[in-house]
Structure 1
Amino acid sequence: MSEVVTSKPDVHDMVVVHRTFRQSCAELPELVRGLRPGDTARAELVVEAVQFMLMGLEAHHVSEDEFLWPRLAARTAGQAETIARMEQQHHRLEELVTQVTGALDQLAADPRQPLCEQVADQLAELGAVLTAHMDEEENTVLPLAAEHLTVAEWEELGEISLAKIEKKHLLRAFSALMAVATPEERQTLLTKAPLPARVLWRLTGRRSHTRREARLRGA
């Protein structure tokens, strides 16, 4: 029997998180493909952006594996196939992440063209699988989460993700979310964020993000 939930969580924040991954998946393969032999400074910059995206993806997926899937499986009669498919997609994504990660150190040290093409193709495949996964998650899983999780549980899911990210990267991650959010979404994120995060984002976070993104795009 499904647990009775009297107050539904606002699950739209996951759509904003997904948007950051969609943006990275669209841009990173071409940034890698555009690296030139010998330009290790540029390669290190692009590789660091890839590593940051993969770190965020791991934190995001670990929270779902450890917290979300077990609760939905226990509370949603008839959705076992959907949950199993989500878990299988995560396993495939882990394989693709491992492939990409294994080549990044070499890419940063020696961005020769064949390796750039290899990593760019791997990132493109990762992006295609991840995008399909996020599409299904937004259409199928998020409505289930809104119906069967409490507000406190949804907040705990986010806290698990944040705990997987090194503290030195938290402001950067928050700034990335704010950069892709609409004005209304940005206001909601600011309302939910702790006061130190709000202050740091206004003081340094958004400007640092803008400068980093400009360097990454060669502007």
Structure 2
Amino acid sequence: MLTDPPKDSTVAVTETRLAHEVHRVATALLAEAAVQPAVPLGALAQLRDFLVVNLRHHHETEDEDLWPRIVAAAPATADALGALSEEHERLDAALDRLAAVAVRDSRPDNGAGEDVAAGRTGADEGEGDAGGEVRAALHDAAVAVRDTVHAHLAHEEPILFPALRDHVTPAEWTDFSQRVIATTPPVAGHLMVGFLDEVGTPAEVELVLAGLPEPVRPLLPAMRRQAVDDLRILRGTGS
């Protein structure tokens, strides 16, 4: 269930809340889609890779950049933020397990690697017992990540949202946000756009996407179309 925005949301709170909702929705989708035979392994691999790199990057930027900014302004927050970093370590272990599942489609590429990776080749016909084992392993690992993420965010948000509102200036948030965008790994970025469109209002999504580098902005319509197609495949409603 999506969380209600705080009545006194700042840009920092709004952008963070949307990122968290993406993490909730995306982790739940992978856990659900993993055991659906109609969802191609390539589509699952793409979502899995997106989640692993983005969740790692998100919590690493918090630990290494955002937390020190907050503690510098409000030293009393150090213990609570330190406890959240310990939860990040547990999340890392779950992500390691998820990343280790050999879910990539092993069929010959034949020049169509992007289609295979994105799951546009249809269901993996004849994947047999091995495919079923892969899906079971992926499901188990994805459930662990989903449950860890959802529990962590339930702990984090009551601490982080007030800290962002009270102790991070708009200039500091802009600097932090730009650093995050500049260092985000380029893995299935269109899925981030698609998930943002699902969890945020148009105004909120535009607020988040306004920080994208100028050369990327003309690509947004195509990214949105690709995201719609890929998310339909993952939900078993498209081909």
Q: Which TM-score band (shorter chain)? A: 0.7 to 0.9
Q: Aligned to 1:77, which of 75, 78, 84?
A: 75
Q: Could you list the runs of 5+ residues in structure 1 that have no partner in the other structure?
A: 1-7
CA contact (8 A) 2:190 2:227 kept: no
Q: Secondary structure at the match of 1:11?
A: helix
Aligned equivalent of 1:10: 12
Following the alignment from structure 2 to structure 1, what is the Cα–Cα distance between the partners of residues 36 and 135? 8
The AA in structure 1 aligned to 2:151 is A
Following the alignment from structure 2 to structure 1, what is the Cα–Cα distance between the partners of residues 91 and 193? 23
Deviation at 1:186, TM superposition (A): 2.7
Residue 49 of structure 2 corresponds to residue 51 of structure 1: yes
- From the superposition, tell whether residues 21 and 190 of structure 1 become closer, same or farther in structure 2 (CA, over 3 Å): closer
Q: Could you list the runs of 5+ residues in structure 2 that have no partner in the other structure?
A: 1-9, 107-126
Deviation at 1:190, TM superposition (A): 5.0
Higher helix share: 1
Aligned equivalent of 1:31: 33
What TM-score, normalized to structure 1? 0.81
CA contact (8 A) 1:63 1:158 kept: no
- From the superposition, tell whether residues 62 and 34 of structure 1 become closer, same or farther in structure 2 (CA, over 3 Å): same
Aligned equivalent of 1:207: 225
CA contact (8 A) 2:12 2:164 kept: no
Aligned equivalent of 1:89: 87
Tell me how large the CA RMSD over aligned residues is.
2.5
The AA in structure 2 aligned to 1:99 is R
Aligned equivalent of 1:5: none
- From the superposition, tell whether residues 107 and 190 of structure 1 become closer, same or farther in structure 2 (CA, over 3 Å): closer
CA contact (8 A) 1:72 1:148 kept: yes
- From the superposition, tell whether residues 178 and 75 of structure 1 become closer, same or farther in structure 2 (CA, over 3 Å): same
Deviation at 1:179, TM superposition (A): 3.5
Deviation at 1:96, TM superposition (A): 0.6
